[in-house]
Amino acid sequence: MASLKDLRIRITSVQSTKKITSAMKMVAASKLRRAQEAAEQARPYAQRMEGMLGNLAAGAVGQDGAPALLSGTGKDDSHLVVVMTANRGLCGGFNTNIIRSARQMIRDLQAQGKSFKIFTVGSKCRDNMKREYADYMVGHFDEFGRTGSSFAEAEHIGQAVTAMFDAGDFDVCTLIYANFVSAMTQNVTRQQVIPFPVPEVDEGDDAATGGGYEYEPSDTEILTDLLPRNLAIQIFRALLENGASEQGARMSAMDSATRNAGDMIDSLKMTYNRTRQAQITTELIEIISGAEAI
């Protein structure tokens, strides 16, 4: 059995662990509030952008000279998978879930005989993926600030992706990130961004096919402007959703860690007191039997 001193050391160490996890939980909670706000404020723009582009694309798709970002290269032989995780761990299953989904997708692609490349965002997924897929990794980005992502960072990633697309490195681009639902729930999402997924529309519905619009300067010019921008916006949104999800996951992970530490301290204290009591009893018996012997 562990000695009293060992138990005391154990208890102190678990207590300080508990202090750390509960502080991390508090920090995550306040960061979560900010990240959630940012994610929610970015949603309207991304949604309206998608709507606008949907209207425009429905009219332009299939036409000659439609930009490649919209119509694709006509193949889907090679894929670019943009995996987005956090820079830091200690946030429950957040990073693991995203990476698992990415691996699943890569295995599916391999099974279909398609080639693929990986672009990693956040150092956790780079470290994890490079063991297996080092040869396929074409780019990495993890310089987002601790306070959250800025649009310039999303643009930077967008430009890197567009440059690779223009160079003909891939046909289809998919983002993998965690969509923020609540502090307890984050859904790992795969979102195709290149070519732009044109929403299904009813034939003959004039307003929906973009036929009713007038363009200034012209529809192709607007499209060539709008498409790279949309890419950056979708990446920005993914970054923000991911940021909020990370803090949410960390908060709930740290919450249960704090609770577990509390439980552990309780049971350790119980053992400590029992051992102490047993020791006192033994000492008393020794003294009494010593006195009787005299």
Partner 1 sequence: MADTLQLDLVSPAKLLMSESVGMVVVPGIEGYFGVLPDHMPLLSTLRPGVVSVHDGVTDAPSKQFFVDGGFAEVNPDGCTLLVDEAIAVEDLTADNIAERQSAAEERMQSAENDIERAAAERALLVAEEMTRAMTEAAA
Enzyme catalytic residues: 91
Strand order in the sheet with 172-180: 137-141, 115-121, 78-84, 172-180, 186-194
Candidate residues 62, 74, 145, 217; the one interacting with partner 1 per rule CB under 8 A: 217
Instruction: Identify which of residues 194 and 223 has a Cβ nearer to partner 1 in the complex.
Output: 223
Q: Which two tokens stand for residue 63?
A: 């036409």
The 8 Å CB, 24+ separation contacts for 212-220 are 213/55, 213/56, 213/59, 219/56, 219/59, 219/60, 220/60, 220/65, 220/66, 220/67
With binding defined as CB under 8 A, does residue 216 bind partner 1? yes
Task: Fill in the DSSP letter of residue 210.
Answer: T
Site string for partner 1, 6-45 (x = CB under 8 A): --------------------------------x--xx-xx
Q: Which stretch binds partner 1 (CB under 8 A): 52-60, 65-73, 170-178, 264-272?
A: 52-60
With binding defined as CB under 8 A, does residue 165 bind partner 1? no
With binding defined as CB under 8 A, does residue 166 bind partner 1? no
CB of 49 to partner 1, least distance (A): 6
Say how far apart CA 186 and CA 91 lie, in whole Å: 12
Instruction: Identify which of residues 237 and 250 has a Cβ nearer to partner 1 in the complex.
Output: 237
CB of 154 to partner 1, least distance (A): 8
Say how far apart CA 61 and CA 69 lie, in whole Å: 11
Instruction: Identify which of residues 116 and 177 has a Cβ nearer to partner 1 in the complex.
Output: 177
With binding defined as CB under 8 A, does residue 207 bind partner 1? yes
Candidate residues 14, 56, 193, 249; the one interacting with partner 1 per rule CB under 8 A: 56
> DSSP string spanning 218-231?
-HHHHHHHHHHHHH
Candidate residues 93, 168, 197, 212; the one interacting with partner 1 per rule CB under 8 A: 212
With binding defined as CB under 8 A, does residue 279 bind partner 1? no
Candidate residues 108, 221, 263, 286; the one interacting with partner 1 per rule CB under 8 A: 221
CB of 141 to partner 1, least distance (A): 18
Q: What is the dihedral of CA 53, 57, 234, 163, to 10 degrees?
A: -130
Q: Which two tokens stand for residue 170?
A: 């891939």
Containing 209, the helix (H) or strand (E) segment is none
Q: For residue 239, with 0-12 CB atoms within 10 Å meaning exposed, 13-18 middle and 19 or more buried, which class applies?
A: buried
> DSSP string spanning 61-106?
TTSTT--HHHH--S--SEEEEEEE--S---STTHHHHHHHHHHHHH
Residues that bind partner 1 (CB under 8 A): 38, 41-42, 44-45, 48-49, 52, 55-56, 151, 207, 212-217, 219, 221-222, 225-226, 233, 236
